[in-house]
Amino acid sequence: MIMTKEQAILKAKIQFNQMEASVRKAAAEGQTIDQVERDLWERLLSIGRMMLQGYVKLQGSGDVGATLKYEGRSLNRLDNLHERRYVSVFGELKISRTVYGTRETQKHEVIPLDARLGLPDSEFSYLLAEWDQSFCVQGSYEQSRRTVERILGIGQSVLSLEDMNQSMSRNVQAFRDSRPMPVAQDEGSILVLTADGKGVPMRRDPEKDAPAIHVRRKKGQKANKKRQACVGAVYTIEPFVRTAKDVVNEVMRDRRRKDRPPPQNKKMRAELTRIIDDAEVNGKDLIFSWFAKEIKARDGNNGKAVVCVMDGDRALWKMLKHHVSGDVVCILDLFHVMERLWNAAHCFYLEGGEEAKAFVSDRLERIL
C-alpha cells in the first residue's frame, strides 16, 4: 500500500533524472536553447502532474470508518470508490474517493477527501481558473482557450470558460465585503473619486434580437448591441501644489514630477448594467452608491476634502449629485479638455507641428 502511494513520486524522480540527462545530452550535441527550453517545459509539466498525483495518493481515499456522524445522522460508507476528474495546470488527474451516504443511488452527502484537499466545485483547479480568467478579461474566450492550450497543453471548451467566469463572479461581492478598510494613518488628506462610462458590445441572441445590420446603417442605428458599464476608483492622496505653468509643462512634455505624491489605498471596481432579482440595475448606480459607502467609511469625521474627477458626461455628474451628499470639489478631467483644444488647434495648424502645440499650451494655461 505504501509502495502504491509513493509510486507517482518515484516516477517523478525518475523523470527528473531523465530531464537532467537530457540537458547534458543537449549540451553535448549543441542543440539550440529554444529546443532545450521547449523540452524542459514539457518535462516539467509532466513531473508536476506526477508530483501532484503523488500528493493526492498520500492523502488516501478519505476513508474514516464504516459510518460517519453528520448533522445528527449516521451515514454509511458506500461500497465503491468514486472517481473524480480534476484538471490542474499540470494536466488532468483522476481522484478516487470514499463517499458517505444512505445508498449508491442517493445523493453523496459527505466526501471527506474533497474537504481535506479543498477541491473546487468544478473540475478545474483554482489556479487554472485564475490563469484562464486572467486571459479571458483581456480577450475573447476562444482566444484565451487557444493561448492556455498552447502554453499548458490543456484543452478546454469555450463553454467551460464561460461557466467558470460566471461561477467566479458569484463570489465577487463576498470578496469585496471581506476586504479591510485602510488604516487612517496610511491615508492621504484628500479623498478622490473618479468614474467613467463605457458601452460594452454584447453578443446577439438570435432568438430575441433583431438580425445584425450588414448594409450602411441609417441614422440612430447601432453597429452592435451594447450595454453600459461603469468603472470607478477611490483613493486618497496628499496635496501637490503647482502653478498653471507647472501643470502645462508636465502634461505637454510627458514629464512626471519626481516629488508627486502617490495615490494611497486605491480601489477600483467595474459594474455592468445587468438584471439583478428580475430588475435591471444601472452600473453607474452601483458605482456611485459604492462611492458613498467609501466616503462614509474613509472620512467618517469629515476631515478630508472630497474631490471628484470625471469627463463631461452629464449622466455621471447627475449620479454623483444623486448618491453623494456633502461638499465635493468637482473637477473636469484635464485630458478630455485637451482633446477639444487639439481639435481646435488642427483647424488652424498642421497636426504634429510646433504651432499646434503652442496653441494648445497657451489655451490650456489660460483655462487653468
Task: Provide the pLDDT for residue 160.
Answer: 95
Task: Provide the pLDDT for residue 270.
Answer: 92
Please state, in angstroms and rounded to a whole number, the distance separating the CA atoms of residues 290 and 284.
10
Please state, in angstroms and rounded to a whole number, the distance separating the CA atoms of residues 285 and 172.
17
Whether residue 252 contacts residue 357, with contact meaning beta carbons closer than 8 Å, is answered with yes
Tell me how long the chain is: 368
CA angle 192/194/198 to nearest 5° reads 170
Whether residue 245 contacts residue 365, with contact meaning beta carbons closer than 8 Å, is answered with yes
Task: Provide the pLDDT for residue 216.
Answer: 63
Task: Provide the pLDDT for residue 323.
Answer: 95
C-alpha dist (Å) from residue 347 to 160, 318, 354, 356: 52, 33, 14, 9
Whether residue 68 contacts residue 110, with contact meaning beta carbons closer than 8 Å, is answered with yes
Please state, in angstroms and rounded to a whole number, the distance separating the CA atoms of residues 335 and 327.
24
State the sign of the Cα–Cα–Cα–Cα dihedral 168, 170, 173, 178.
Answer: negative
Backbone φ and ψ for 123, nearest 5 degrees, come out as -80, -15
- Closest Cα partner for 226 from 162, 290, 283? 283
Within 8 A by CB and 6+ apart from 95, the residues are 56, 83, 84, 85, 86, 113, 117, 119
Whether residue 246 contacts residue 223, with contact meaning beta carbons closer than 8 Å, is answered with no
Task: Provide the pLDDT for residue 6.
Answer: 82
Residue 46 burial (CB count, 10 A): 18
DSSP string, 221-254: --SS-EEEEEEEEEEEE------HHHHHHHHHTT
Please state, in angstroms and rounded to a whole number, the distance separating the CA atoms of residues 41 and 343.
52
Within 8 A by CB and 6+ apart from 123, the residues are 84, 85, 86, 87
Query: Parallel, antiparallel, or unpaired for β 305-310 and 329-332?
Result: parallel
End-to-end Cα separation, the chain, in angstroms: 78
Task: Provide the pLDDT for residue 169.
Answer: 87
Backbone φ and ψ for 203, nearest 5 degrees, come out as -70, 135
Task: Provide the pLDDT for residue 299.
Answer: 85
Backbone φ and ψ for 279, nearest 5 degrees, come out as -135, 140
pTM of the predicted protein model: 0.74
pLDDT tens-digit profile of 259-300?
889 999 999 999 998 888 888 889 999 999 999 999 999 987
pLDDT tens-digit profile of 25-47?
999 999 999 999 999 999 999 99
Q: Which residue ranges of the chain lie beneath pLDDT 50?
A: 1-2
Please state, in angstroms and rounded to a whole number, the distance separating the CA atoms of residues 149 and 163.
18
- Closest Cα partner for 15 from 44, 39, 36? 44
List alpha helices for the chain, DSSP H: 2-29, 33-58, 112-117, 126-136, 141-152, 158-169, 172-178, 244-252, 283-298, 314-323, 334-345, 354-367
DSSP string, 142-202: HHHHHHHHHHH-----HHHHHHHHHHHHTTHHHHHHHSPPPPGGGS-SEEEEEEEEEEEE-
Task: Provide the pLDDT for residue 99.
Answer: 94
